[in-house]
Amino acid sequence: MTTSTVTGTLRLGTRGSALARTQSQTVADAITAATGAPVELVPIVTEGDRSSAAIAQLGGTGVFVAALREALLAGEVDLAVHSYKDLPTAAAPGLTIAAVPGREDPRDALVARDGLTLGELPAGSRIGTGAPRRIAQLRALGLGLEIVPIRGNVDTRLARVAPGDLDAVVLARAGLSRLGRLGAVTETLDPLQVLPAPAQGALAVECRASDARTRELVGRLEAPSVRACVQAERTVLAALEAGCSAPVAAYAEVADGETGPELFLRASVTALDGGDAVRGSVSGAPGDAAALGRELAADLLDRGAAELMAVLP
């Protein structure tokens, strides 16, 4: 298939971390391949990059997003690439998600000393992770692990495993894949053990709603089934009125059903101390993704999800 050549360089705002630059460059290359339009990366420093505080203390994952969105609205850049799970669930006035491209494996991954799996780590092992969702679910497994809150980029976290001060770390498999670090993974965690974060592994390509040219060019990267899955997952998060500091997990898949494509959505809310959890699932047409998310969130709330989100470790 041939691509039409489009003149005019697109300016893509990106955070400076290796993962953000890798994700942005992947999208830039895909846009150029699909449209012929050249894309230039423009570094943007966010509050989340400046601070060493825990994400929850900074006010949520939106701290990585605000500066990029400000640059978009000011016309300093034409588009931005976000890890979709970093986006607040509320829409940003004046901006639109022009494309949700293909998704990496959304599962969590364990990187442990001596090639160990989660079940092989002895009681008392020190496991590093910064996500309340992961902390809660790891505690709920009842393996007697000591959970250590950590921050930092992927390589910083990996460096804390032997001969460092931690026995293992848990990270998103997608980030390790994009950075070429899958060789460090000692176990990809089954969602039955640790359910992923809503939209984990997915990217969101955002631009100004009024910028028809950029919307059209970026829109060629759209993966409709991925958008449906992410919409279902993030609707659960929004309906629970929860953010990144809440231990909420959700994962949707689209598969062939008896009458056509079917979306299967799972979600859970786990008390931060790991002492209790509610889980549920629904299925339906991909076109009903938002309704399925609201339905599942309502079920979780009926079974005590709000109370669990309020439980402190």
Catalogue the active-site residues.
86
How far apart CA 177 and CA 192 sit, in angstroms, is 21
How far apart CA 48 and CA 50 sit, in angstroms, is 6
Residues 6 or more apart whose CB falls under 8 angstroms from that of 73 comprise: 94, 95, 208
CB 240 within 8 A of CB 301: yes
CB 273 within 8 A of CB 142: no
- Quick check: helix, strand or coil at residue 169? strand
How far apart CA 36 and CA 57 sit, in angstroms, is 43
For residue 279, the cross-strand partners are 268
CB 112 within 8 A of CB 184: no
How far apart CA 24 and CA 203 sit, in angstroms, is 9
Pairing, β 39-43 against β 10-14: parallel
How far apart CA 112 and CA 84 sit, in angstroms, is 27
Comparing CA positions, the residue from 274, 263, 273 lying closest to residue 296 is 263
